[in-house]
Amino acid sequence: AGGAAMSSSGGAGGKRSVADVLMGNARDAARKAKKGAPAASGVPSPKKPRTKTAAEADGATAERAVDEKPPSPAKSPVKSKRPSSPPKSKSKADDAPEAKKRSPSPTRSKTLAAAAKLEAAEKPLSPKRAKTLAAKSDAKPSDQALVSQSKDQASQSEDKKTKISNATKSEEVNTTLELKKKGSEFDPMAAAYWKPGEPVPFLFLARALDLISNESGRIVITEILSNVFRTIIATTPEDLLATVYLSANRIAPPHEGIELGIGDASIIRALSEAYGRKEEHVKKNLKELGDLGLVAKASRSSQKMMYKPKPLTISRVLDTFRTIAKESGKDSQDKKRSHIKGLLVAATDCEPQYIIRLLQVNIAMFS
């Protein structure tokens, strides 16, 4: 090979050195090896991206500009517009649901309601709907009906109160007239305004005591007391003993030695607490009237009650007096005042007057 190269190079008209020949052979061998390596492996050699020249880049830009150029006004009927501005952000009211939108004005709502009523009136009702509406109208009375009904109830309550007061007055008149009759003309059942077997009201005895306080003759007083006892025997004999004790201004037989043991100061304090008055006012009225029983009656008549208390009975009054007498030890006076307050609160008419007089042992006017 070296000889051939030398001969060829010599034939070319110049002499080549041995080094030049060796270098040329090495270049040829390297070129052949380079070309033969991808073919032997069967995988094409990756091509390096060819870098575009400046002229090619300018040409591609020009072609792109031509492709993206908008149509001329002559070819396209739509005129070119300026680039639109970015859309405005929606307000909070637009984003809110329709249910939360501002409600219509009152005038608007009234107009709509009137239009709906007119439309409903003009629209014919089905038989079933008509029956339903008729049933509702019957079930719910009109405003005028309610007003008239309330007026009727008020008038009925007033009439009932008037009847009760009239009945009370008539009972009082009947009791007073009957108790004043002589023994031969007296009818026990006519004087009683409670049913046989029921506890005798303390008001019956209090009215009898009130009659006696206005009498001075012993015979008349005896006849009134006799009629009281005959009435109780005819209706409720169990209460006769309690009636006798209270009429005699006692709470037990003398041999038992039971006494109330309560003074005027405690009675005044209990009276003021029961009727919501000051002790100074009670003492002032006592000086004016001279009788604590009359002060109690006047205090009770000026006090308004939320509800009518349960009527006092003769047996209850006597039992309370005996409980007061048995109270002793610490806080005994407070307990006694509490019992007296209970009686005064439940007392009506002339009952407070004679409860206080009984407590004071001040009914010796007829004994």
Per-residue pLDDT in tens (0 to 9) along the chain, 367 residues: 344 444 444 444 456 677 888 888 888 888 888 776 554 444 444 454 555 544 455 554 445 544 444 444 444 444 444 545 444 444 444 444 444 445 556 677 667 777 766 666 556 656 767 667 666 555 555 556 665 666 667 666 666 555 555 555 566 667 788 898 888 899 999 999 999 999 999 999 999 999 999 888 899 999 999 999 999 999 999 999 999 999 998 999 988 888 888 889 999 999 999 998 999 999 999 999 999 999 999 988 776 666 777 899 999 999 999 999 999 888 889 999 999 999 999 999 999 999 999 998 755 444 3
pLDDT for 132 equals: 72
Output the CATH code of domain 188-255+262-359: 1.10.3260.10
Q: How far separated are the first and last CA of the chain, in Å rounded?
A: 180
In a 10 Å sphere around its CB, with 0-12 CB exposed, 13-18 middle and 19+ buried, how is residue 136 labelled? Answer: exposed
Assigned token pair, 122: 């003009």
pLDDT for 366 equals: 41
pLDDT for 147 equals: 59
Of the candidates 323, 354, 364, 338, the residue with the CA atom closest to the CA atom of residue 202: 354
pLDDT for 247 equals: 93
- For the chain, state the CA radius of gyration: 62
pLDDT for 363 equals: 52
Of the candidates 343, 163, 204, 177, the residue with the CA atom closest to the CA atom of residue 267: 343
Task: Answer whether 299's CB lies under 8 Å from 282's CB.
Answer: yes
Instruction: Enter the pTM of the model.
Output: 0.55
User: Which helix or strand (DSSP H or E) is residue 187 part of?
Assistant: none
Ordered DSSP codes for 138-165: HHS--HHHHHHHHHHHHHHHHHHHHHHH
pLDDT for 312 equals: 96
Assigned token pair, 344: 């005064």
With residues binned 3-state (H G I as helix, E B as strand, rest as coil), the percentages for the chain, rounded to 5, are 65, 0, 35
DSSP letter assigned to residue 12: T
Of the candidates 197, 176, 189, 196, the residue with the CA atom closest to the CA atom of residue 231: 189
pLDDT for 50 equals: 54
Task: Answer whether 221's CB lies under 8 Å from 245's CB.
Answer: no
pLDDT for 233 equals: 96
